[in-house]
Each structure stands twice: as structure tokens, then as C-alpha cells.
Amino acid sequence: MTEHWNAIRKHWQLLGSPLRPPAEVIETYDRELGLAPSDVVMLGVTPELAGLSATMTAVDESSDMIAGIWPGDTDTRKAVQGDWFDLPFADASVEALIGDGCLSVIGAAGLRRTLFASIARALKSDGRAGIRLYASPATPDDPKDVRALALSGGVSTFHELKWRVAMTAIGDAPDYTIPVKAILEHFDRAFPDREELSARTGWELPVIGTIDVYRDSSAVYSFAPAAALIEEARTFFDDLRLASSGTYGLAERCPLLVLRSPKRPD
């Protein structure tokens, strides 16, 4: 995944909502989790979330992402290279944990469960976690409808369109997974004329071109429905709920999954 994330890092400034959290999302994390006075662990180095808490420790496997995206260490925040599936914290030591879209970028259900287990192990008994989802709808969109919606101006950003294409392209794939290069293939079939797409939407061609980082990538994403993710997490947490993350484009598919009361092994 390192090469994949390094390619994304190079185009970071061209990315936008819902991939990067808008102000509504930042407010949601704080409102639902009460982060301001807390010591927080973050999965990834999402810069928009770096100042949410009293102290912040961001964990990312990619040194390139830390070097290129993280806004820098201070007295109250730092980024460390580490494994989400084996978080570098003692059992029951983490007060609060957040992650933005992290369940989608790790792929299959087995990995998602491993991540839930890692979070539950690290959280204190009264700790809490919040993960913003990229969740497919219960009824998949028709590709023709996605194309028509975009060309009629009904999609707010190119990055919203990219996720709509991805969610539509999953089909009946196991674990709701899709190789990211397949997202590009489906996009190119639906929108063969990028200049037309740019003219109809006002999106600049370099922004549309950010999808080309998927071309040779070996990464696999997943876009499971929220109900499926809740069932996967229920094995590891007694208290789960969804909270709206705002009204931005695709927000209805990007709720915050709030996790409390981690279960301990017998």
C-alpha cells in the first residue's frame, strides 16, 4: 500500500469532500465524542482533525504520508509510524480514538474485524471511538443514474462522484471489496470524455485526473453498508450507534460510527 498512498500524497491538495473531512465532519467528531479535553489516538494523519483534542497521536504505516500530509509535531500532537492492526499502545490505555474513512481503505471483512479488535483492545473501559464511514446504500445505484446525476449538476464534487462510481461498481463482490484500479475502469466506461465532464460540472481536469493514481495500484477498498459494519463491530463493542456527519455531498453515506464499551476477552 505504500506506493498507493505515496501517489495519493502527491495529489493531496487536489482532493476534497467527502474524501477530506469538511467543517461539518470536524464538528461531528467533537460533538459526538467530546474530544476537546481528551488524549486522542487517530488512525491516519488527516490534517483537518489534528487539532481536535488536548493531545493527539496519529498512527500511520506510511512514512511518506506522515512527511507529506501531517501538519507537523508540536507539544500537543505527534505522528508515529505504526500498524493499525497492532496499535502501539498498552491494553485499555487509550481514552479516545478516531479514524476518517479508515474502514474502507483496508479492504476485506476479516481485516475490518481485526481493526475493530485492535481498537477494542487499546481503548479504556470507558473509552470511545468514532470512525466516519464510506458506506454503500442498501440498494445499489444504477450506473446510468450516476452518470445522469453527474452531468446534470447533481453531484457536488468529483470526489463524491468517484465514491458513487465505486459503490455502484462493487456489485456482489465478497466483503463489498473492489480493487481501486477497477474503480478507474468503471469511471472511464461511464465518463469516456473527461472534457465533457469538466465542461458540464465545472470540475477542473487536474482534479478529475486524480483518479489516475488508481491505474497501477494494487490497493483494495471496501464500501460495506453501514448495517454490515455495525454487525462486524458488534462482536467487539457493546454500545454502537450511527451519527449524522452533516449535509455535504454524500453525507448520508458517511455517518460517524460511534463505538463504546469495548468487550474484553474472557
User: Residues 74-108: pLDDT tens digits?
Assistant: 999 999 999 999 999 999 999 999 999 999 999 89
Q: Check residues 86 and 64 and name the one with the higher pLDDT.
A: 86
Residue type, 133: L
Percent of the chain with pLDDT strictly greater than 70: 99
- The mean pLDDT of the chain is 96
| Torsions phi, psi for 246 (to 5 deg) | 135, -160
pLDDT for residue 147 is more than 60? yes
Whole-angstrom distance, CA of residue 257 vs CA of residue 76: 26
The whole-number pLDDT of residue 1 equals 57
Residue type, 117: A
pLDDT for residue 235 is more than 70? yes
Beta-carbon contacts of 123 under 8 Å, excluding residues fewer than 6 positions away, are 92, 94, 97, 129, 262
Mean pLDDT of 115-130: 98
Q: Parallel, antiparallel, or unpaired: how do β-strands 94-100 and 39-43 relate?
A: parallel
CATH code for the domain defined by 2-134+224-262: 3.40.50.150
Q: Where in the chain are the domains?
A: 2-134+224-262, 143-222
pLDDT, tens digit (0-9, with 9 covering 90-100), for 25-45: 999 999 999 999 999 999 999
Whole-angstrom distance, CA of residue 264 vs CA of residue 266: 6
Report the candidate in 198, 199, 223 with the shortest Cα–Cα distance to residue 211.
Answer: 198
- 212 near 158, Cβ under 8 Å? no
